[in-house]
Amino acid sequence: MFVDVATAADRPNMVVVMVDDMGFSDIGPYGSEIPTPNLDALAAGGVKFSQFYNTGRCCPTRASLLTGLYSHQAGIGWMTADQGAPGYAGRLNNKCVTIAEVLREAGYFTAITGKWHVGANHDVNPWGRGFDRNLTLAAGGVHFSNQTGSKGGASLFLNGETIALDDPRANPPWYGCDLWTDQGIDFVDEAIAANKPFFWYLAHTAPHFPCMAPEETIAKYRGKYMAGWDKLREERYARQIASGLIDPNWKLEARPEEVPAWDSLSPNEQSRYDDMMAIYAAMIDQVDKNIGKLVDALRERNQLDNTIILFLSDNGGNAEAGVTGKYNGANPGDPHSDVFIGRCWAHLNNTPFRKYKHYNHEGGTATPLIAHWPRRIKPLSGPSGWIETPTHVIDIMATCVDLGGATYPQSYQGNAITPMQGQSLKPLMVGAGNFADRPLFWEHEGNAAIRVGNRKLVRQGMNGDWELLDLKADRTEQNDLASEMPEQVAALSTQWQKWAKEANVLPKPKNGKKRKGRKQPKQAAKAKG
């Protein structure tokens, strides 16, 4: 049932900004040395969450964010290949609804720019899942209009139509952060003209590999990483303690054995690594610059006061490409290069936590979350300044439904809909109302975890041993209590197994075969509205 917009003038606009493969400590409010003045301003004028979680991987996190379900319930327990099991279909299924579908029914103008990656290879696209407007990629990894290499043949999708990266309607030459933001602002103008509140999902492709950025931005950071990951990690950790983000009793994880000491490297090796991280820092810089552009645009349109902006990452820093990373191309960082920052810098990205993207340890699943809404959210007072309640990406749907005065359906287009799993963050953000305690769950590629209160049970791989952790005393996961408390391990693992069966984590695909989806059609149907 549609809501009369005239009777809902106080409902906020909503902008959800998700970045791709950014670590927990890569922005200023969470300890980074990379200048992020615009995100700093959002954090100072809003609230910051210290224990917000994603799923540890891009596709599952996007599925959970969009649907308010655990990713296996939405059909994307792994990536976008159909693996022949209900939780692993590789696309959003018909038992879920998206935020866009729910809010559009409530009278919102809905738009998405950037990375989709929840089933376009199976013909599941934004224009068929509730978005009035879109400028999107089927997957990610595209940063320049003239990009070559593995992503050079990608297409854009503009309001349901397939177009080339350099199509004049995208105003080339462009850098991705600018393109997704500029086009989204145009969609905001359409919403204002239609006198509708808007929901805009801004899904950046930065700082995901291949790492590349404008040369003038990279140049700002060359040489700044010659200090090395050992010293820079200690400096991030100190800033995290000073800000109240990290309990000083949580020990900083020692450098893993496979990561060399910075001082053991030759000058040439150090220079190579410095340039890799300079490219990555430039991508964070570009994200932040466009946060400023977004905020300025909303302010100029008198929309900022009643717009809630949420900023988060889809997983922890990415250690793919191993210790050496990748540093290929005549001019690394340009549109024709191939750069992965690798495990050594991912160790810095995820300060102070263990592990990386893919894993369910804190380094894989912990993300910044900043919430800014001048009309209702006021900065926290007191010594901490952080919302410390454990929260999860499944909570974004419930928050949007709550703030938008929408109704989450029991059925949609003839299909029974799985009840949303999250809770509205509004009580935490505005300081009024209750936010109930509940368990949180994870599974990806056999990695698994459950958190109940401050107890966390986590394993690495299907056959890994369960670790039992006390996150209040040891969020950096240094002290495994499993041998001391086997009864807690048994109880929590049983609880996880029960959830896994109910949430389509089990059964796992029998042979793990990665079935391909259908190729994306060259010309897609036009979007409605």
- Active-site positions read 58, 117
- DSSP assignment, residue 220? T
- Rounded to 5°, the CA angle 493-497-502 comes to 150
Joined together, the tokens standing for residue 268 give: 């040439």
DSSP string, 337-368: -EEE-HHHHHHHHTTT-S--TT-SSHHHHEEE
Residue partners of 108: CB distance under 8 A and separation at least 6: 14, 196, 197, 198, 199, 404, 406
Beta strand pairing status for 198-203 and 307-313? unpaired
Q: In this structure, how many other beta carbons lie within 10 angstroms of the beta carbon of residue 480? A: 14
Inter-residue contact 418 to 95 (CB < 8 Å): yes
As a dihedral over the C-alpha atoms of residue 204, residue 207, residue 210, residue 214, rounded to 10 degrees, the angle is 90
DSSP label at residue 146 = T
Instruction: Give the separation between CA 223 and CA 304, rounded to whole angstroms.
Output: 37
How far apart CA 342 and CA 413 sit, in angstroms, is: 44
HSE of 300, CA atoms in CB hemisphere, 13 A = 9
3-state SS class at 453: coil
Which residues, other chains included, contact 299 with Cβ-Cβ below 8 Å and sequence gap of 6+?
Answer: none
Provide the pairing of β-strand 391-392 with 47-53. Answer: parallel
Residue 70: both structure tokens together: 């655990």
Note whether 40 and 406 are within 8 A (CB). no
- Spatial distance between the Cα atoms of 124 and 425, rounded to a whole number of angstroms: 28
Dihedral, CA of residue 10, residue 433, residue 54 and residue 13, to nearest 10: 0
Residue with tokens 């928050």: 399
- Please give the full DSSP string across 16-36, using - where no structure is assigned: EEEESS--TTSSGGGT-SS--
Q: Which residue(s) pair with 411 in the sheet?
A: 416
Residue 528: other Cβ atoms inside 10 A: 12
Distance CA 165, CA 185 (A): 19
CB atoms within 10 A of CB 2: 8
Report how far residue 25's alpha carbon sits from residue 348's, in angstroms, rounded to the nearest whole number.
8
Amino acid making up residue 417: I
Helix axes 267-300, 176-193, angle to 10 degrees: 10
Q: Terminus-to-terminus CA distance in the chain, angstroms?
A: 17
Q: Pseudo-torsion of CA 298, 302, 304, 305, nearest 10°?
A: 180
